[in-house]
Amino acid sequence: MNSSSIILVLSCLGIAQALFLCSYLFSLKKGNKKAHAFLALLILGLTIRIGKSILNEYIHLEAWQRNLGLAGILLVGPSLWLYGRTVLLQAKIAVKNSFPHFIPYILFSLFCFAIPNRFDTLSLGIYYAVFVHLLVYLILAILLGFRSKNHSQKTVLSWYRNLVIGVAIIWIFYIGNVSGFIPFYIGGAICYTFLVYIFSFLLLKKHSFQLEKYQGQPLNKNVSTALMESLEGLFQDESIYLNQQITLSQVALAIGTTPKTLSRLINETTGRNFSEFVNSYRIEKAKTLLASPVFKNEKIASIAYDSGFNNVTSFNLAFKAETRLTPSQFRKKAANN
């Protein structure tokens, strides 16, 4: 298999994965349906543009076909910005209010036969205008992220920032290519393939299809501060994390709140779920024991149990995920310092 075939396969895999995500998002019945729809339209717009790049590399396309591919970019910007407003601000966007943002895409697609695409000055100007349109929405999306910094869930804000960065990378690639700075045209499709799989991983890891599970306004700042102080006191002073059977309900009862509120508190304050939050304390305890000369001959398994873990496998996985080192590597590094 030559390099051209490998590139084609990789590009097609990215398109297939993107179409799967679009289909899945459009079919979701739970959660914020409008947010799912805007995210699906965003991915679809990029897929249309990238799909055109792949086809144009391997077969001859007519001008109107190239225009249909270029039109996909006009779908991306509005979808990115409206998706951000929906998940960061919980804005209830009516169809009549969102529709005007998609008029450029609709008109460009309808008049694809009449729009010049001949690689001349006018065609190049139209190409740049389309990407300026995306740039405007990218700037609006970045400003939206900054505006939402203090009153959005950390996990949601982090996910949206990653999404904006991914779209910006695609924008930079195509502008760089048409300007002559990036000569590898099909590289945009390869870049998109990797971005699609990264986004898929993040969506699954962070359950981002359910990012809207905490609908409504963030927790009252004074209430959340008081609850967080009680929670930290429970973990730092009473070392409740050493209980291997600890549950969300038990901790919620101990600080006088509900499991749902506690879960939301931890998520909005630390960006972790309950299990990750508990394990962070256990890992700090394990790090202290591993670095102590007193426990230098203690078995890793014993340290895992003494730190609150109920099995060595979960301890090893959690420890490496947090520190990028295995417990043995951490102990050796600590001994050499």
pLDDT digits (tens, 9 = 90+) for 53-107: 777 777 888 999 999 999 999 999 999 999 999 888 776 787 788 999 999 999 9
* Mean of all residue pLDDT scores within the chain: 83
Q: What is the CA radius of gyration of the chain?
A: 25
Domains annotated on the chain, with CATH = 3-213 (1.20.1070.10), 221-336 (1.10.10.60)
For residue 209, the model assigns a pLDDT of 45
Residue with the bigger pLDDT between 201 and 135: it is 135
Model confidence at 109: pLDDT above 80: yes
Lowest mean pLDDT among 14-18, 251-255, 271-275, 327-331: 14-18
**The two structure tokens encoding residue 155:** 């996990």
For residue 207, the model assigns a pLDDT of 47
Q: How many Å apart are CA 60 and CA 55, to the nearest integer?
A: 8
Q: 135 falls in which pLDDT band (50, 70, 90)?
A: very high
For residue 78, the model assigns a pLDDT of 96
For residue 296, the model assigns a pLDDT of 85
Q: How many Å apart are CA 220 and CA 229, to the nearest integer?
A: 14
Type of residue numbered 29: K
Q: Which of 148, 175, 170 is nearest to 160 (CA)?
A: 148
201 contacts 185 by C-beta, under 8 angstroms: no
For residue 226, the model assigns a pLDDT of 87
For residue 64, the model assigns a pLDDT of 92
How many percent of the chain have pLDDT more than 70?
85
Q: How many Å apart are CA 61 and CA 56, to the nearest integer?
A: 6
**The two structure tokens encoding residue 87:** 């998940």
For residue 21, the model assigns a pLDDT of 80
219 contacts 151 by C-beta, under 8 angstroms: no
Enter the pTM of the model.
0.64
Lowest mean pLDDT among 34-48, 147-161, 172-186, 200-214: 200-214
Residues whose CB is less than 8 angstroms from the CB of residue 212 and which lie 6 or more positions away in sequence, other chains included: 31, 32, 35, 87, 90
What is the mean predicted confidence (pLDDT) over 23-50?
A: 85
The predicted-structure confidence for 176-225, as pLDDT tens digits, reads as follows 877 777 666 556 666 667 777 776 666 655 544 444 455 445 566 777 78
